[in-house]
A = this chain, B = another copy of it.
Amino acid sequence: MQSRGKRLDKKQNTLYVGSLAKGLRLLRAFDETHTELSLVELAQRTGLDKSAVQRLANTLHIEGMLDKNPVTRRFRPSHAWLELAYAYYWSDQLVGQALPKLIDLSQSLGETVNLAERSGDHIIYVNRLPCQRTYFAATVIGRRLPALSTSSGRAMIATLPADEREEAIRTWPLKKFTARTTMDRTSIRHSIDEAVEKGYAISSGQMILSEIAVACPIRDPNGRAFAAVQCSISAHTWTHERVEAEILPRVQDTANAISPASQAHRG
């Protein structure tokens, strides 16, 4: 256990460009609560020294990846970050395949509809169609959440073979968002078992107290889910039962309609 050697494994490879990796750390220093950072703040958040941050931030600025407020000298994400999302969208076939169906769904329900994909042990929202003065409007596209803590994640996990499912339930991360967020893995196992039987997952108050969420898996040809259609509804005007009776069937139809589309160019 060479604890001193700092950069071991793949990183101490001549194929690893450290400066690039450090630059990326600056980009990742920005999040919900850090929307604008100064040089020293960047240094603190990345653990890099002042000089390094100076050079890297300057480079990112020149290259148009960071905007700089000329008076405060603070840095912000630039429009280029959205251009990257644009490129991402074109590279993800699912997004294009799903969009028309999601629009139909959202119009017919009059409720907010999200498309989530699995990203390791997390899920990430790749598309959102907001409807109704979405109280919990908020920005969601690109948000990454522990799979176990979301209805989308549970709906997806439920499609995995029993051993993988169990492994996920035991080891994947959890995060507490509200007072009602389930942190007990046994409860989560029940919830996922239910999803295995019913083919969908439903949860209340996991992310936001007043929210009911239903999610149905989008499956690949082997039946494994790699994505999910999810619908968020206000618990103020809906009950669990009404959601299952009125919302769920259409969400499920949409998810199924998207599913078989895995007829990409590949045997």
Known: A10-B62, A11-B62. A87 touches B20 (CB 8 A): no
Copies in the complex: 2
Q: What are 22 A-B contacts with C-beta separation under 8 Å?
A: A14-B55, A15-B55, A20-B22, A20-B63, A21-B62, A24-B60, A31-B87, A35-B87, A76-B91, A77-B84, A79-B117, A79-B119, A81-B85, A83-B124, A85-B85, A86-B142, A86-B144, A87-B142, A89-B139, A95-B139, A96-B139, A99-B139
* Inter-chain contact A77/B59, CB cutoff 8 Å: no
Which residues 3-27 of A have a CB within 8 angstroms of B?
A: 10-11, 13-17, 19-24, 27
User: Is A126 among interface residues, defined by CB-CB distance under 8 A?
Assistant: yes
User: Given A14-B55, A19-B17: A126 and B90 within 8 A (CB)?
Assistant: no
Interface digits, A123-136 against B, CB 8 Å rule (1 contact, 0 not)?
A: 01110011111100
B137 touches A100 (CB 8 A): yes
Collect the chain B residues with CB atoms within 8 Å of residue A131's CB.
Answer: 103, 107
Taking CB atoms, residues of chain B closer than 8 Å to A59 are: 15-17, 20-21
Q: Is the CB of A60 within 8 A of B139?
A: no
**Interface size grouping (class) on chain A:** 35 or more
Name the contact of A129 in the complex, choosing from B11, B14, B129 (C-beta under 8 A).
B129
Q: Give the interface of A toward B (CB within 8 A).
A: 10-11, 13-17, 19-24, 27-28, 30-33, 35-36, 54-56, 58-60, 62-63, 65, 76-79, 81-92, 95-96, 99-100, 103-104, 107, 117, 119, 124-126, 129-134, 137, 139, 141-144
Contact present for B133 and A55 (CB under 8 Å): no
- A29 (CB) vs chain B CBs: closest residue: B87
With a cutoff of 8 Å between Cβ atoms, the chain B residues found around residue A78 in the complex are 88
- In the bound assembly, the distance between CA atoms of A65 and B92 in angstroms comes to 15
Please give, as numbers and ranges, the residues of chain B lying within 8 Å of A30 by CB-CB distance: 87, 90-91
When distances are taken between beta carbons in the complex, the residues of chain B under 8 Å from A124 are 79, 82-83
Instruction: Enumerate chain B residues within 8 angstroms of A130, measured Cβ to Cβ.
Output: 99, 103, 129
